[in-house]
Amino acid sequence: MSQQTAIRAGCCRATRYQQAGSSLVMALFIIVLMSVLLLALGRQLISSSTSVSIEVQGNRAFNAAQSGLQLGLAQLFPLNTTASCAAVAASFSFSQPGLQSCTATLSCSQVDNPDDPTPSRPLFRLSSAGRCEAGDIRSSRVVVMEAY
């Protein structure tokens, strides 16, 4: 069979010489595509870990504010003594595991009780601002409580 007959008989089949270099183009395309996918996944992973760090710092700041309120309440209402905002410390620094590098800043004020027209007991408003920092991530939360 001559070469022309072979070409006519297999008109739709490409010869080895016609396919030369196509696998190189396909390999480059796959390498570029995989590189783009890996880069996108890497960025997603970094973004995800930063979000988790910020969320953890926010929870630590909230817990510091809550702890500050509890300490403030213990100072505001000591046993067998009259409650007074003057007894509440202005700030606390925590060194316990989980709250390291966190502070709580308290404020206390005596307010009118709208539910008690003849104030038999004073109503106190405690506000605690918890702040935590780790590296360049800083977070703060404010919690307010009223007690009488």
Place of tokens 């709250």: 99
Report d(CA 120, CA 67) in Å as an integer. Answer: 29
Q: How many helices (H) and strands (E) does the chain have?
A: 2, 4
Domain range enclosing 53: 16-147
CA 25 to chain centre: 44
CA dihedral 43, 48, 53, 57 (to 10 degrees): 130
Contacts of residue 53, Cβ cutoff 8 Å, sequence gap at least 6: 134, 137
Place of tokens 């190189």: 24
Is 7 within the bounds of a domain?
no
Is 133 within the bounds of a domain?
yes
Is 76 within the bounds of a domain?
yes
- Number of domains within the chain: 1
Is 1 within the bounds of a domain?
no
Is 6 within the bounds of a domain?
no
Query: What pLDDT is recorded for position 2?
Result: 56
Going residue by residue through the chain, which has 148 residues, state the pLDDT in tens, using 9 for 90 and above: 555 555 555 555 666 666 667 788 889 999 999 999 999 998 888 888 788 888 999 999 999 999 999 999 999 988 888 888 888 888 999 998 889 999 999 999 988 887 777 777 788 999 999 999 988 889 999 999 998 8
Is 5 within the bounds of a domain?
no
Contacts of residue 103, Cβ cutoff 8 Å, sequence gap at least 6: 64, 91, 92, 93, 94, 130, 131, 132
Question: Which of 144, 130, 145, 135 lies closest to 58, judged by CA?
Answer: 130
Task: List the structure tokens of 10.
Answer: 């297999």
Is 3 within the bounds of a domain?
no
- H or E, element range at 38: helix 22-76
Is 127 within the bounds of a domain?
yes
- pTM exceeding the 0.75 threshold for the entire prediction: no
